[in-house]
Structure 1
Amino acid sequence: MLSLRRTAMIGGALSAMASILVGAFVLLSSVEENVLERFDRALSDRHTQLVVALTYTAANPDQLDELLFDPRYGTPFSGRYWQVSGPDGALFASASTLDAELMEPPGRPDRLTLRSIRGPEGEPIRSLFQRVTLEDGTEWGVTVAESLAALAAERQQTRRSLLLAFVLVALLGLAGAIVQTTTILRPLEKLRRDVSHRWEKDEDLTVHDYPEEVAPLVADINHLLERNREIIARARRQAADLAHALKTPTAILRNELSTQAAHGHDMEASLDALDRVDAQLGRSLARMRASNSGASASLRTDLTNSVDRFTRLFQGMAARDGKEMTTYCAPDLAVRMDQQDIEEVMGNMLDNALKWCDSRIALSAHPKAGGIEILIEDDGPGIPEGSEREALRSGGRLDSSKPGTGLGLAIAIDLLQAYGAELFLEKSEHLGGLCVRIQIPGQAKNAQRRRLAQAA
């Protein structure tokens, strides 16, 4: 579907073009009629001059040339002619006819008669004829004519001038349509920017900042923002209440199983099953929390602060195991994720890296391609080539020699997907072990947010 801006511009341009074409046709027709009328009026003036000259030279018509001073009358086939037929049928004509005869209309009418005929050498001409009666009672046929080439040239010049004028008018009309469309749609563009900004700041829009036609929409958006905040808060409270309610029963079960194990009973399978139950519950609760957090673009976390806290925590843990941790984070780095979610992802990945590394792990975060990239690397054995997909599979474990449920990576992937982020497993170029690359976009992907919200 076309955007409003494009639809308005196309509609305005087509309307302007249609109006200009109709106006051009009407104006051109009117101008051409005026050109023909002016052409005929000039013929009538020359006819009057010829009649006046004839009244003075009726006794000697050969002297007409001396009273008609237009030089074109003396140039052969110049396109301008006159002819007088006497009472006895004798013809007197301008030298421009070169002895060619201009045809008089049938019946030799006594009123002015305009016709388009063939002149000397078959040239198209427009003639004006009238049979006049002088004071002595003699009747004369008076004809003046002009080549239609002159009329065609004048019309062509007029069309050319009008074309240039209408091209300019069309350009002005198109520019006007663009300016008008931009002006009309400016409140909607402002609304788009403000909605994006207010989503980030989690603030309501000011209804009075918009035209009255847009104000109801702004009020609805404010209502939607408020409903969204309430739904997110309620969902997160419910997830937190559920987590709290489940912690006590599982803690009691774990204590009972530990007590039985202390009395010599084999409780390893039961404890392992309980660990998996805890992990699955943790994953489900994390997904519930992420599906609601990811739907809100107002969440922002200071990643620099989170990296600093993880640095202090894991450097101490690494030092106790005789290992080393290095970190780097670009200054003033923030992500559009809930703090608990991004820290759970980083914590799981750092815990895995510390568990499997030989002596070193590294954490780095920096802007990249309109988003943020987080790298967690180690110098451990890494993942066999071609096994990355199995490792990313829910609960997949490639090596069970170390404790764990295998759900930490799955939980991290679920949390990241809620925000349109991605996780990749690669070989570390710097340390030689595993590299977990996390890419977080600058703007959350709406399609993924909707999909996860529906799944929840």
Structure 2
Amino acid sequence: MPKLKARLSSIAARLLLASAVLLPLFLGLTGYFLNSAFENSLTEAESARLRGHINLLFSVAEPQVQNNRFERLKMPVTLSEADFEHPNSGLYGYIFNGKEKLVWNSNSAALLAPPAFDQVVTKDSPGQLVFSEQLLDKKKHFVASYAVNWEDTSGKPAPFYFVVIHGATEFKAELKAYRQQLWRWLGAAGFFLLIAQVVILRWGLRPLGKLAVALKKMQSGDTSNIAGEHPKELQKIVDNLNQVLEREQALRQRYRNSLADLAHSLKTPLAVLQSRLGQGLESDSELQQIASEQVARMSQVVTYQLQRAVSSQQQGSFRRTRIEPIAQRLFAALQKVYASKQMKQSLELSPNALVAGDEQDIMELLGNLLENAFKYGRSEIRMSSHAVGHQLCIDIEDDGPGVPENQTERILERGQRLDTNQPGQGIGLAVAAEIIRSYDGDIHISRSPLGGARFSIYLPLPTASD
């Protein structure tokens, strides 16, 4: 039973089982109706044949009149139909008079006992051909009878009954031969239909096999989605599956990015703490203040990155954020991390420099770019801003080695770094670029007059409704 259930779980097995059950039933009903139609056709042909024989007898019969009275019918010695002349040929002709007495029979019936009048004649149908099937001598025969009234010279009617009997031997033989041929051909048709069904099923279900192969390749990691062209009935399913897979991959990528961004964002506060603890010069109160500030910063970073991980779009794009306080906090923190460099800092920001963005996003964006400037700059860093149309342009410059023109696009991708001698994972600039794009901003990398790189950030200015 479990094996049968397992087999029936296959679509092909179910369709083949249904075909194996329904096809014989269909062919059986077809054979039954075809046999019935053929048998009715043979019966109609037999009726028409016997009608022709009745007409033959009626046409050659001649009435004999004596003393103005109808005496008898005169029939020719031989008939044109050969079967009426050969004894026991199976075709027999009879004529009965009004007194139910046999007055004539064909030569073929000379050696047979005549049938009973009531068995082969129906009196209630004068002028009509009556066709029936009768058992005569325990054998099936077809009987046709026709009643006619002949009038004598005085107008007195004289009834006569013409009867033709034909054995059913030929009828049965023809019907048997037809049935044998019919069931033979139907059986052959059923066999070939089953073979055709198997071929059609294999051909029709081939796209499902192709889809299974594509899914297996995707599962093994050879492809990231379900590739290939499929029939239109399956294409909608494939497209929907690909959309689900793309969303799932995007979600996983966002989670990975968020974890990487979280780790990257925590580097600066941890570096501040590490550098100050390593110096061991601050008083307990000063150290406690620095630790409190950096722990609060780390808590904000964790909250911010968790919010980004569960949100597919930027939130708070209509907030007003001042640039100068964020820049001062970042400069102060990074100056402690890179205290050994004794970097010269130039902050040329208007106290009213505003952008339409979330404070945490701006903190993350500027923090990553300023950390790069402190890391690669040699002695000087400058940060300035100016309005360009409906955007605020923020320039961050250093006097480091700079960025080659052919590498300005590549370094904005995750994991891409120019200087592998410096510690890092190549995440900061990618995070900055993602934040800028989320606000429909832009970023350009060029050569700074200081000698190093200049990162120009374009963010939207707040509108009156913000």
The two structures have a TM-score, normalised by structure 1, of 0.44
More helix by share: 1
Higher-Rg member (1/2)? 2
- Higher relative CO (Cα under 8 Å, sequence separation at least 6) belongs to 1
More strand by share: 2
